[in-house]
Amino acid sequence: MDKKQTIAGKVALITGASSGIGKAVAFKLADEGCDVVLVARDENKLIQVEDQISSEHEDIRVLSISTDIRYGERVIEAVQRCLDEFGQLDILVNNAGIIRYDELESFSDDDFDDVMRTNVYGTFFMTKAALPHLRNTKGNLIFIGSFDANHPRSFNPVYCASKWWVKGFAHSVESIVGKDGVAVTLINPSEVRTAIADESGQAYIDRFEKGEVSEPEEVADAVLFAVKQSSTTTISQLDLYRRDKLSDFF
């Protein structure tokens, strides 16, 4: 069997890298020696993450790109900037995503548009723009899905459906690019302590104590596990649930 890959020197682009899971993934990959491209809208938050990674790792190159993945042309520009600066792209982590709640009958068109534009269109635009470069490097394409990609959800059907789309897309893309040497992985977490909020507007990081649900670093560990596989192996899907998640579900 091949040795597990070292990923030092690889270039990773992470969407939603200013917060929560994406930020933890950026740190984890930088810890392993990857150069990291941080993508999100809030420039100040991105610069804080960039400064922190740079201060911990003098040898790692960090590029922040403040952009909005809901717009295809901005995504193309972001991927091009990564190529211009670093010359290659080895790992794309499609992580940026949002959630909105309301009764279905009153769910606003604007919220629907926002969720679909971010979780679906943004993921599509990024994947499309990155794929030729991932083919060149026989790289890794990671999607952050959700527990909700595996189950119907009565309290957030739009978000849930967006994640079912991510799941269908991820596995379909795997069926296209696997033969070109690109590894595609879908990671489905249940609750993770981040800024993402529940129906009452309370952020998960405030709602849950440490130890109650997953930490962002645990999802980052799952990303690391996927990208360190041998060049013949794809971790197609990882479901990362709080241990008693299914107890309250069935």
Ligand X SMILES: NC(=O)c1ccc[n+]([C@@H]2O[C@H](COP(=O)([O-])OP(=O)(O)OC[C@H]3O[C@@H](n4cnc5c(N)ncnc54)[C@H](OP(=O)(O)O)[C@@H]3O)[C@@H](O)[C@H]2O)c1
List contacts with ligand X (CB under 6 A): 15-16, 18-22, 40-42, 45, 68-70, 95-98, 118, 122, 144, 146, 189, 191-192, 194-196, 204
The nearer residue to ligand X, 107 or 121, going by C-beta atoms, is 121
Residue 37: DSSP 8-state = E
Based on the number of CB atoms within 10 Å of its own CB, is 84 exposed (0-12), middle (13-18) or buried (19 or more)? exposed
The nearer residue to ligand X, 127 or 194, going by C-beta atoms, is 194
How many other CB atoms are found less than 10 A from the CB of residue 130?
24
The nearer residue to ligand X, 5 or 48, going by C-beta atoms, is 48
Asked whether 41 and 52 are in contact (CB, 8 A), the reply is no
What is the nearest approach in angstroms of ligand X to the Cβ of residue 205?
8
Q: What are phi and psi of 232, to 5 degrees?
A: -95, -15
What is the nearest approach in angstroms of ligand X to the Cβ of residue 76?
14
The nearer residue to ligand X, 76 or 98, going by C-beta atoms, is 98
Asked whether 86 and 35 are in contact (CB, 8 A), the reply is yes
- Calculate the alpha carbon distances from 169 to 52, 65, 165, 220 in Å: 34, 25, 6, 21
What is the nearest approach in angstroms of ligand X to the Cβ of residue 100?
11
What is the nearest approach in angstroms of ligand X to the Cβ of residue 124?
13
The CA distance from 245 to 148, in Å, is 12
What is the nearest approach in angstroms of ligand X to the Cβ of residue 181?
26
Cite the beta strand spans of the chain per DSSP E: 11-15, 35-40, 62-66, 91-94, 140-144, 183-189, 237-240
The nearer residue to ligand X, 128 or 181, going by C-beta atoms, is 128
